[in-house]
Structure 1
Amino acid sequence: MSSKKNYQCHRCLGVWEKTGRTSCSAPPGKIKAPADCPGQQQELIHECFDQYCDDTEQARLAQVAARVEGLCYQSDSDEQSVHPRWTRVEDTIALAKLMGYQTIGIATCLGLLAETRQLSEILEAQGFDVVSVCCKAGGIDKIKLGIEEQDKVRPGHYEAACNPIAQAAFLNESKTDMNIIVGLCVGHDMLFNLHSKAPVTTLVAKDRVTGHNPVSVLYGQNFYYKRLKKSPLKVD
């Protein structure tokens, strides 16, 4: 039985800050890799990488994603620096076009229908067919999940449960070429990914407090969110 690995890539930040690169982002042999670097597992690395180099749809997706990554930056005239020029929406459109996708599904949160309408109008203007399904489709009360009334957002009231498996089923039925998540809850997004037949990308990660910008919590660690490093989050 192989031993459990404990990779810690986040600890290479110190190397990055000192050299501007890490062992995995520099030419081979330029920067020494730490002992627990996943890059040391060359057999596994190449076994996985080989899957991008055949004629499967998975390999084509990897190749197109790499092309889109290159397209979304522009270099200075002296090529000493690069600048991003595309938003995530534009990246998504470019990938869909290069993959030859036609029908795009959107698994949306009820609370982001306005954003989903805007996204749909953009995608349709770009020549795609759009299908969208709301998280509350069917309107079954949360109590039927087996939770207690007190676990609702507003105990004592009718409250529709999210149904991400149904969202995936409806989009599967619509034969979408790719699906976009717009604001599904943590956990519901996992269930949607598990059941979607089409490849899935997330455009909006739900964060009610930060205006759906969850990374802002990481930027705010020295201020308000410093508490997350000091005290356990209470869930009861």
Structure 2
Amino acid sequence: MKKYSCSHCRMLNCKHQDREYPKFCPTKELTRDDIIEIEKLYNEDNNKEISRISAEIEEEFYCKYTRVEEIIEFAARLKMNKIGIVACVGLMEESRTFAKILAKHNFEIYSVTCKVGAMKKTEITGLDEEKTTITGDIMCNPILQAKTLNNEKTDLNVIIGLCVGHDSLFYKYSNALCTTLVTKDKVLAHNPVGALYQTDTYYKKLLND
């Protein structure tokens, strides 16, 4: 039997609060104990403060601030000092520009590129050499990126263009809170949602069986 979830819902009563929840809605299925458990998590560490500041920024600067500006505001309100920049080697110019902007707002910056360590794909991952002819044998190294920024004791790490999977490993090993400035899409000029907008035309193939 097909398992329905939020992507099947057209009501969005969780937002609007003026309609009926569908039968499969996870909000409808919440028990009081479930809510108490989630509330406890918001009271752990600085989770409540992060949530409150995120909501404030969304409300105050809705459709006014770029994501760059939102990150700056977020870090400033949380009194963060040291920002880690987690950069794809192909986006170093963009990373340098972002670092200059952060410095102008009195943040300390430490950036680390994906090729840090100069470790080889064939030696570490076991990838066949013929499968490295296009992108080269020096591997992207998100675990070392995370360890490097952990050693630097960054307060917030900002990802700029890590590949799919590499970003996942970085999130896994980062001690600091993370956010993403650039999501890599080599085909769509780092605008991955473009493929979703084009499923009726150029990207029909994504829906083909």
Deviations 1:109-130 (A, max 9, x none): 0000000001000111111011
Q: How far, CA to CA, are the matches of 1:39 and 1:115 in structure 2?
A: 40
- Could you tell me how far 1:56 is from its partner in structure 2? 2.5
- Rounded to whole Å, the distance in 2 between the matches of 1:40 and 1:198 is 34
Deviations along 1:131-164, whole A, 9 cap, x unmatched? 0000000111211121111221438xx5210110
Q: Which structure has the larger Rg over C-alpha atoms? A: 1
CA-based RMSD: 1.7
For the residue of structure 2 that corresponds to 1:47, the secondary structure is helix
Letter in 2 for 1:216: G
- Deviation of 1:25 after TM superposition, in Å, equals 0.8
Aligned pairs for 1:214-233 within 5 A:
214-231=192-209
| TM-score with structure 1 setting the length | 0.82
1:65 is matched with which residue?
Answer: 54
Residue 37 of structure 2: aligned partner: 47
User: CA shift at 1:206, angstroms?
Assistant: 0.6
The reply on whether 1:149 has 2:129 as its aligned counterpart is: yes
Secondary structure of 1:224's counterpart equals coil
Q: How does 1:176-215 map to 2 (within 5 A)?
A: 176-215=154-193
Residue from 11, 16, 20 that aligns with 1:32: 20
CA contact (8 A) 2:110 2:149 kept: yes
Q: CA deviation at 1:45?
A: 4.0
Query: What is the rounded CA distance, in whole Å, between the counterparts of 2:4 and 2:35 in structure 1?
Result: 14
Aligned to 1:11: 8
CA distance in 1, matches of 2:47, 2:174: 15
* Residue pair 2:129, 2:137 contacting (<8 A) in 1 also: no
Runs of 4+ in 1 over 3 A off after TM superposition: none
**Counterpart-to-counterpart distance in 1, 2:161 and 2:133:** 17
Taking a change above 3 Å as real, the CA distance of residues 100 and 221 of structure 1, as seen in their structure-2 partners, is: same
Instruction: Report the 3-state secondary structure (helix = DSSP H, G, I; strand = E; otherwise coil) of the residue aligned with 2:144.
Output: helix
Note if contact 1:103-1:128 (Cα within 8 Å) is conserved in structure 2: yes
Q: Say whether residues 1:92 and 2:71 are aligned partners.
A: yes
Unaligned runs of 5+ in 2: none
The one-character-per-residue Cα deviations of 1:31-51 (angstroms, maximum 9, x if unpaired) are 110111110132324421342
Q: Which amino acid aligns with 1:181?
A: I
Aligned pair count?
Answer: 205
- Does the C-alpha gap of structure 1 residues 208 and 153 become closer, same or farther in structure 2, counting only changes over 3 Å? farther
Q: TM-score, normalised by structure 2?
A: 0.92
The percentage of aligned residue pairs carrying the same residue is 39
Paired residue type of 1:102: N
SS at match of 2:203: helix
- Unpaired runs of at least 5, structure 1: 16-21, 74-83, 232-236
Where relative contact order (Cα < 8 A, 6+ residues apart) is larger, the structure is: 2
